[in-house]
Amino acid sequence: MKPPYDSVLFDFDGVLADTEPIHWACWREILAPLRVELSWDVYCANCIGVVDTDMLSFLASLGPTTAEALRPHYPRKKELFRTRVLEMSPCATETVELVRSLTDYRLAVVTSSGRQEVEPVLERVGIHECFSTMVFGGDVNKHKPDPEPYLLAASRLESTRPLVVEDSEAGVASARAAGFDVVRVGSSSEVPAIVRAALAG
């Protein structure tokens, strides 16, 4: 009997790695001197699944500043994140074991984040080589919720029956617009059980 899926396409932040609290903390540190207050609830409601540079206008609306004034601070946020994410190792052991066990499927990472924020984390936990391809924010013209990121990943894998694993509204919309089945997780800790159940049919 043919398995229902031939590949699994994972989002990164909030799925493979519990990075959203780290992103939030880095933004808070950058924004505080600019008198911009970013609470966790506001971050979760407006910033998850959104490309960082697309968030600048929203973040500026929270305080007495503009998106253009925030833009020069963005490289420091990226640098902060790259340092902290490696200090904290945000991939759960169970998720690492899941990825290593999926040898019957072609695997991809499909993320709005940049290569420098993602690859070092996957290399550190030893699963980088498990993924046949990775689609980063800079690889596409249109980001999630547009289907382009997931269509590109499936095309690279020559996959006709991908299963997408997402945690954000934008990511789910992107996968559905591509015509793919998608499971949504509430947190990265749910990923192993939900993915195994979906693959078991």
Q: Which two tokens stand for residue 27?
A: 């933004």
Per the document, the length of the chain is 201
The reported pLDDT for the residue numbered 52 is 81
Per residue in 162-184, pLDDT (tens digit) is 999 999 999 999 999 999 999 99
* Cα–Cα dist 115/105, whole Å: 23
* Cα–Cα dist 10/25, whole Å: 24
- The 3-state DSSP class for residue 165 equals strand
Contact 191, 16 (CB under 8 A): yes
Q: At how many degrees (to 10) do helices 169-177 and 148-157 cross?
A: 60
The reported pLDDT for the residue numbered 86 is 87
Q: Which two tokens stand for residue 180?
A: 């793919």
H or E element: which one contains 48?
none
Output the CA torsion 165→169→171→173 (10° steps): 110
Contact 89, 123 (CB under 8 A): no
The reported pLDDT for the residue numbered 191 is 97
When pLDDT is averaged across residues 136-154 and rounded to a whole number, the result is 96
Domain range list for the chain: 7-18+90-200, 20-87
pLDDT interval class at 3 (50, 70, 90)? low
Per residue in 104-116, pLDDT (tens digit) is 999 999 999 999 9
Architecture field, domain 20-87: Orthogonal Bundle (1.10)
Q: Which amino acid is at 151?
A: L
Tell me which DSSP letter residue 184 carries. Answer: E
The reported pLDDT for the residue numbered 201 is 82
Q: Considering the entire predicted model, what is its pTM?
A: 0.89
* Cα–Cα dist 129/100, whole Å: 10
The reported pLDDT for the residue numbered 2 is 52
Question: Average pLDDT over the chain, rounded to whole?
Answer: 94
Residue 34: closest CA among 52, 56, 49: 56
Q: Which two tokens stand for residue 49?
A: 């699944």
Q: Does domain 7-18+90-200 have CATH number 1.10.10.10?
A: no
Contact 14, 20 (CB under 8 A): yes
* Cα–Cα dist 19/35, whole Å: 24
* Cα–Cα dist 74/78, whole Å: 6
